[in-house]
Chain A
Amino acid sequence: MSELATPGPPKRRRGPEHLLTHRLARWVDSRLGTAKLARTALNKVFPDHWSFMLGELGLYCFIVLVLTGVYLTFFFSPSLNTVIYQGSYGPLRGVEMSEAYRSALELSFDVRAGLVMRQIHHWAALLFLASLGVHLARVFFTGAFRRPRELNWIIGCTLLILAMLNGLFGYSLLDDQLSGTGLRIVYSITLSVPLVGTWLASLLFGGEFPGPDIISRLYVIHILLVPAVITILLTAHLAILVRQKHTHFPGPGRRDDNVVGERMWPTYAAKALGLFFLTSALLAFLGGVFQINPIWIYGPFDPAEVSAASQPDWYMGWLDGALRIMPGWEIRAFGFEIPNPFFPGVLLAGLTFTLLYAWPFLEARVTRDHAEHHLLDRPRQRPVRTALGMATIAFYTVLFLGGAADVLGATFGLSVNAILWTFRFLCLLAPPVVGVVTYKLCKEMSARDGVPTASRVTVREIPRRLRHGEERDEAERESPALRS
């Protein structure tokens, strides 16, 4: 710093300090003190395990979503004005359609690199949700949500909901036959909320379905509001991760009061950068080679028409399946009614996410384990949690398959009614069966490992000593059975 501040006689030697990057770094450092901060960052320790990359995958998908999405906004026009298509896709020439649908067609056929960008965007959304789902499962089954990480669990659940909604809003913008059908279902579910449903639906859609304003509103929500909130929450998610440091799996030298892994710089950072490029490469390949959401086949939205086998994107499949599996019940009393879609569309979805948010607190209350945990569980060590998790996955898998009942029926030549009846029973039967089998398997596997499961060991983790920075007792620290 002092060298730059006090210019001395010019040196002959061209050492590294004369490189532009070096001088620039010095310039910045002298104003912000970045070297000190950066050194801490470079030495940040990241435990290494393949499952810790799942959330990272989601982050990279989000970056690809933003990049491709910005490109798409340059060409898409969210307007419901009626126009006559005159573009280069022959079969639809002369057809009356909305400005939104036309601009989506033009984006696909007449804008160079438009189709590949649109398809990468859609594939990235599918993979984004998949990464979030698997990341959530990893965090759940390894107990990474326990104290002190409940906050990040809550942020993560919110990110999942936002991602799902924004995916739905995104493919609803194009005003093709499939997306219009999806919006119709969104409208009806909104309408089904007791007391306020009619008002909610009218305010959201700007009137009765199809509503004059819904596309332009969803556009602002899809490209501005939700991405902004996701970015803020994502930043908080990562900041909390840095503050609390990463969890790690049990192993030699790994304790609840340390974190063992690679330094961020250079290996971890390089691998993460490599993973970002490889994720983007996969998405580019999928977007180039595998057709996704071919809106020109669906045609423009006509409220009086619907195509058979209307399916949402995969992450909404469980909700669509729930709508199908639900028996035809409605509650009517005193001239008021609770419409059928309320139960699967509002109640089930509400319960799902309430339970998800509440899980860390429920578990802590039931197990009376309020201690800090930085060592992860192996799923088999927690048979009850693992069994409940697997039962839940079984339930939503049945719902998801229920969403494909008509496709399954057509593919296997079965009666759709028989399939739906099967799923109605399965969504009640599969969770307990899967839960019990998982429980037994966990017990069996941990018995084979010779590691006692949580139900036989009272886990009292390090709390007080560590929290108050007292000296740690070496013997006590190594005693709990889980560490073996």
Chain B
Amino acid sequence: MSYLEEGYTLRSWLTTHDHKRIAILYAIAITAFFFVGGAAATMIRLELATPQADLVQADTYNKLFTIHGVIMVWFFLIPSIPATLGNFLMPLMIGARDLAFPRLNLASWYIYVLGGLFTVATLIAGGVDTGWTFYTPYSTMFSNTNVILAAAGVFITGFSSILTGLNFIVTVHKMRAPGMTWFRLPLFVWAHYATSVILVLATPVLAMTLVLIAAERLLHVGVFDPALGGDPLLFQHLFWFYSHPAVYIMVLPAMGVASEIITCFARKRVFGYRFMAYAILGIATIGFLVWGHHMFVSGQSMYAGMVFSVLSFMVAVPSAIKVFNWTATLYKGSITFSAPMLYALGFVGLFMIGGMTGLILATLALDVHLTDTYFVVAHFHYIMVGGSVMAYLGGIHYWWPKATGRMYPEMWGRVAAIVIFVGFNLTFFPQYLLGYYGMPRRYHVYPPEFTVLNVLSSAGASILAIGYLLPIGYLAWSLFRGKKAGANPWDARGLEWTTPSPPPKDNFAVAPTVTEEPYAYSPERDAEMAGGRIAQP
């Protein structure tokens, strides 16, 4: 009996302790928020299709990009891969029956929903206009919008992140099956382990910073506003101490997903497995020490700026190791361009462009020209959307048969992957040029000479929107009409593929014993296996 058949009532879902069901609950909730955030983005791109203000005025525009940022960062990207794919797969991949603390896992979902309700309340109450960064003193003294309500939503959701992170750390340390040594862990698990460390150590800093903002706004006493004896730089340091590592919360799990997919569809073991694991830890560690590169022009010490610049260049080293190793994994592989593989390859390419432009921004002198322009917007969308969302969708397709027991329609999967890739590049590549030519971010109007590039970007956004809507349609269809998947439709390695699809509630009938490396792909073994269960798409 699969985990889906353990009960059909709403109550059986809302009171479940099963990590797989909680993953589904999370997937539904974050998908809803993705489309709310996406609606705000649609309005933004519509407004920017012409140089003058025609759809919305400045105030509304400010609220649009703020709610877009708040929802996409905290209610979609941060929980996206960890809380859905991570929740579903971590116990399966290490050979455990569940996470270490199943009740805490359910609690984290309820906390997420509560935070989400605050955010919805913010929207209904009229929105918030500070930008997702809540910069002081604007947020504490001048904004006339619902700052406290929005901050409360983010504050609450932070605790769901912390609980997920705590759960994953303990699970990886204490729940591994016999024989599952640290260097037999799939890179997906390594990535989530590093992500969890960031979640647990960085999120509370944001939480307390938001408390200080709310108190300063409410009581007119505090440490951020110069008029009250405070310093806005203190806020920026605290905010980016969380929010820069937050980028790694979004992209490390994406790297984990890409590693699993690329190795499977190249039919080759991951090149330099140990270096991949060390690179993940390296990124998580150095990622904690680069936050000052968001503040090069803020008035922080020049020497601090130099140190942060050097450290930002250093974080590119482990990132580059990963890109090289993915490429080397493909070399002489037997590659299938299935839908998950298209997403994963798209991830690698877009992550590389996003990463390289990140180096441009990490260069002090160039950043003076590019700071607060569309170049920055394009850069982080390449990482967060081109990188994380591509990988998330790749993972959803790759493990869809495992989670649902059904195959998605392969042709539609590929079409959507290509539409998203094209739409994404058309949306965001022109923004690099816009930024380079000097168009500042966060304005609803712009000089007419920027029109062509903005129209291209808005046109790309409409293609991207279609690309994101497609999977909703065909994945929903496949739930009822998709071909039955079988335990291991990709002939993939990894413990999760040894369970039936969908897996039973306790995952494994007998606790598995692990005897080999995680990526024992080889042409010889494929040849042996040929003659039956390989369903090459």
A and B held together in a complex = no
Contact surface of B with A, Cβ cutoff 8 Å: none
Contact surface of A with B, Cβ cutoff 8 Å: none
